[in-house]
Structure 1
């Protein structure tokens, strides 16, 4: 940590000015608690500094001659922000990916099909981690579903990586083609990231039943490196890369630490990255953590899961509602397909939440009684009674990457 603070101060004009404004310098870090005195960074700052000092911004700490790889955010919430790597950064990152894959049970005899996007996406190069482990690796990328299923049938991979929504969609697509994923394909491990679903037991169970495979949740972000936490074979939370990234869990409103196990915003400080270290980076992700040792024997901090993003959080009658809270209810009900969306409107200056779900084919009960059941179960979890609309099967559009769950129609 001291080395990272010193590097940022010595080589980044932004950090030097930011620290000076706070009256701080490299010598002001003598223990972990001292980090709390330093100012935050966030996506807005990265974007502003990249625009002010193009093309990479003034948080970078190495010349372009030392950069060997560049990823970028999707730009879905603004201008894409670049994340550069030196060769040492890249090697350390992929060494960690190999460690993570091993902890999830991948071995050199496995055949791994990498079904993540390669174009600027930080998850793309993680196939190198599988190769470092010794697994035969297929660089599939985000090909059409029919082609990916053909790859599965032809080269018979045992492991793949995608998003929870796409794992669900691909399994349904396979069944639509007369392919039983659990019987006719050889996928036995699925890594997922990009959405909270992999840590929601009800979602994980239904995808595992669809594929006849074990599902492991991963967490990563483009601003530091690919997957920096993931489930081991015990599936009791996501082991954090504490030797690479220091994690704080803070109250989003006050910026102070929350008690262990309570929800807060994940704030990260890189410990080894040289190209562009990040100090107290506010991710916008709401998580909870535990320091209890895992059944597997590993002792690193574990995420209990990513509960949602601050920008996806709804406040309904004073209650904080994340899509993942609703997903817990929807995915465990056998009379529902598992797809859902949240529609927010306004009536008499109050936010009104409508949960739209789909019933399965051949539903035996009535739609109103099913809606009442879902409403009661949501009340049991959240203490609110939203409106519930039960739609016909296949009404809600399926996602081939990250699913959009919240449709805020206030003011439209």
Structure 2
């Protein structure tokens, strides 16, 4: 299953998106209370927009807007809502997304062509290692996409290495869909029970929720640690609840592919201007074909680089690299600008480090402060000093790093009712203890 438009020329793709954009703008003007008001306040007429570049005339939307005016984004009567999804919000309470039958069909199509992009075909067996409950979109999306693709699903859910291995041995999946760091626990379990992961049926993993690539598109430390013990094909993905769309790597593995029929992507600087070629910008998206809660020029907060040259796989749609940071997580520490992924890459290098938590806060003079809590196998091994030296050598600064109990750190990673572990907690405007 392939998306035909991705293989068209850049000119054909742009023409296709212009027509889809006109339809999306008319739909928002007719049915979205939020965007109808936005157009009115800014004196915007729908017939003004004839090119993709005309989008820049429209103010952007962000997650705080979604949270403050959540119900105003809804474009259909509640009687037409089939599924409710929630995602974390910047102001504390979750943001609700309402999905119609049409939106669920769109979600299934998105995931089917995304998984096909990564090489999955009808008849393959895929082990799904993420939850389908708790109002998450991800598990539902994978289930619907695998079903539409005609592949088979083993719904195991997250965690429990023993159960994962039992399912692998019983159902012989070719692919896993999981958070890549969990693969290290799978490897550890296999080694402690004296069997080799390479003797399993698993050939590839669709990696979700965590980056496995550096900014040069090479494997990062996490991926290298996995591949050291398990000969797999790791596929990077990028997705979010807000856009209900995924960017999956193809076999060439040089960035995740955009699906032009589902999304228009812009890459903006801090002032809302489009960044230049080869520059890092904030991904800003306009959804196409969404009926329940479509978004227009939504700033995701994710900083990444776009790749526009044709891919060896034959697709001509743009591709995105890994998330290199988030706009709200930029840290100015001792004169150096940092983003959490650079810190995590250093920590992921250490085999003897069992878990960690990065806390970003404010010190008593009002500047950014970093405190890293780690748990290690052997506190007397010298690992703490080694980690500090790595920070000094690679980032030129050394944050405060302390050793704590494993269970204590794991508890902290699920603060404020979070449904998934948080390796980075931003406490700015709060002094760190």
TM-score, normalization: structure 1? 0.85
Aligned pairs (5 A) from 1:202-217: 202-217=221-236
Aligned to 1:191: 206
Question: Given the alignment, which residue of 194, 197, 207 partners 1:182?
Answer: 197
Q: Residues 252 and 312 of structure 2 are in contact (CA less than 8 Å); yes or no, is this contact kept in structure 1? A: yes
Aligned to 1:131: 147
SS of the counterpart of 2:337? strand
Aligned to 2:320: 303
CA separation in 1, counterparts of 2:44 and 2:93? Answer: 31
TM superposition shift of 1:156: 2.2
Aligned to 1:240: 258
CA separation in 2, counterparts of 1:104 and 1:69? Answer: 27
Does 2:285 align with 1:264?
no
Does 2:405 align with 1:386?
no
Q: 1:275 to 1:139 in 2, by over 3 A?
A: same
Q: 1:330 to 1:338 in 2, by over 3 A?
A: farther
Aligned to 2:239: 220
SS of the counterpart of 2:248? strand
Q: Residues 192 and 198 of structure 1 are in contact (CA less than 8 Å); yes or no, is this contact kept in structure 2? A: no
Aligned to 2:308: 291
Aligned to 2:14: none
Question: Given the alignment, which residue of 144, 148, 151 partners 2:167?
Answer: 151
CA separation in 2, counterparts of 1:183 and 1:196? Answer: 23
Aligned to 2:299: 282
CA separation in 1, counterparts of 2:420 and 2:116? Answer: 25
SS of the counterpart of 1:327? helix
Q: Which moved more, 1:291-300 or 1:312-321?
A: 312-321
Q: 1:325 to 1:210 in 2, by over 3 A?
A: same
TM superposition shift of 1:82: 2.2
Q: Residues 121 and 149 of structure 2 are in contact (CA less than 8 Å); yes or no, is this contact kept in structure 1? A: yes
Aligned pairs (5 A) from 1:344-363: 344=360, 346=363, 349-355=366-372
CA separation in 1, counterparts of 2:385 and 2:79? Answer: 65
CA separation in 1, counterparts of 2:128 and 2:290? Answer: 25
Aligned to 1:53: none
TM superposition shift of 1:187: 2.1
SS of the counterpart of 1:305? coil
Aligned to 1:410: 431
Does 2:84 align with 1:70?
yes
Question: Given the alignment, which residue of 132, 137, 141 partners 1:118?
Answer: 132
Q: Residues 70 and 83 of structure 1 are in contact (CA less than 8 Å); yes or no, is this contact kept in structure 2? A: yes
TM superposition shift of 1:321: 1.3
SS of the counterpart of 1:117? coil
Number of residue pairs aligned between Structure 1 and Structure 2: 397
CA separation in 2, counterparts of 1:342 and 1:68? Answer: 38
CA separation in 2, counterparts of 1:230 and 1:165? Answer: 18
Aligned to 1:140: 156
TM superposition shift of 1:367: 4.6
Structure 2, unpaired ranges of 5+: 1-20, 414-418
Aligned to 1:163: 179
CA separation in 2, counterparts of 1:204 and 1:368? Answer: 23
Structure 1, unpaired ranges of 5+: 51-56
TM-score, normalization: structure 2? 0.81
Q: Residues 165 and 401 of structure 1 are in contact (CA less than 8 Å); yes or no, is this contact kept in structure 2? A: no
TM superposition shift of 1:369: 6.1
Aligned to 2:54: 34
Q: Which moved more, 1:97-106 or 1:348-357?
A: 348-357
Q: 1:387 to 1:13 in 2, by over 3 A?
A: closer
TM superposition shift of 1:302: 0.9
Aligned to 2:102: 88
CA separation in 1, counterparts of 2:301 and 2:178? Answer: 22
TM superposition shift of 1:35: 0.6
RMSD over aligned Cα, in angstroms? 3.1
Aligned pairs (5 A) from 1:41-80: 41-50=61-70, 57-74=71-88, 78-80=92-94
Q: 1:26 to 1:106 in 2, by over 3 A?
A: same
Q: Residues 165 and 402 of structure 1 are in contact (CA less than 8 Å); yes or no, is this contact kept in structure 2? A: no
